[in-house]
Amino acid sequence: MAERALSTQRTLLIAIDTATRWAGVALYDGERVRAEASWRSHNNHSVELMPALTRMLDQQGVDAGRLAAVAVASGPGSFTGLRIGMSVAKGLAQAQGIPILGVPTLDILVVPHSEQRRPVWAVIQAGRGRLCAAYYRRRGGRWRQSGDLHLTTVEELALLVKGRCLVCGELSQVEQTLLATQSEADLVFASPALSVRRPACLAELGWERYENGEADDLATLEPTYLHTQ
């Protein structure tokens, strides 16, 4: 009973990630992850997201009125997935009168690799045999994207990667093998557990923005899509 009472007194941030088929939600209080759920969606974000959010809040005994902010994966990602996640996040922010904080999808992937000394290539699937990738370096104690996003293929990515680097994200074993054999770089691949986007990592990045007094404009925040028409 004491734990339930405590949960309603804390400042809480909810995180929503539906950028790709890998989806998730998390509840964070600035000190610890209160709850987290991730799953592989077969393009059913519209019917899966709200039940997952409701279940998580119910399990923690938290009413939506106790939320202080909402963080959302802002892309790149699939059109449908991003649209659903952004719509739900905006709805929560507007209904509760709280800040909304967009976080780039690929930034979420590199958070678990804080002890990694190699630069990191983060990758997600873009459909039709394509990938979306970005290159990250450690600067000022944190990962920062270096250069542009790349909408590419495994073969093209093999030409982009140079030197010693870690590759993490949504690459199949076949794609990893192709990349390793076709690239001249010194590659290390993150394990499957360290290649998924954790909504808890999204929550940490969103909380950092929240504590810095940042917020996105509810009316103008839009997803970053993988490609243009």
pLDDT tens for residues 156-169? 999 999 999 999 99
Amino acid 227: pLDDT:
61
Residue 25 identity: V
Give the CA diameter of the chain. 58
The mean pLDDT value for 28-57 works out to: 95
Query: Which residue reads 């996105």 in tokens?
Result: 216
pLDDT value for 43: 80
φ and ψ at 228, to 5 degrees? -100, 155
| pLDDT, average across residues 44-68 | 95
pLDDT at 225: 87
Q: What angle do CA 19, 59, 52 make, to 5 degrees?
A: 25
Kindly tell me if the per-residue pLDDT of 153 is higher than 50. Answer: yes
DSSP E strand boundaries for 74-209: 100-103, 120-127, 130-139, 142-152, 164-169, 186-189
Strand pairing report for 100-103 and 67-73: parallel
Inter-axis angle of helices 79-96 and 45-60, nearest 10: 40
Residue of 108, 146, 113, 150 whose CA lies nearest to 130? 150
Q: Nearest CA to 168 among 101, 128, 114, 205?
A: 114
What is the β-pairing status of strands 100-103 and 120-127? unpaired
pTM score, two decimals?
0.93
Q: Cα–Cα distance between 135 and 155 in angstroms, integer?
A: 16
Given pLDDT bands bounded at 50, 70 and 90, which one contains residue 92? Answer: very high
Contact 221, 74 (CB under 8 A): yes
Asked if residue 132 lies in contact with residue 226, where contact means CB atoms within 8 angstroms, the answer is yes
Range name among 1-5, 68-72, 102-106, 164-168 with the lowest pLDDT average: 1-5
pLDDT at residue 11, rounded to an integer = 87
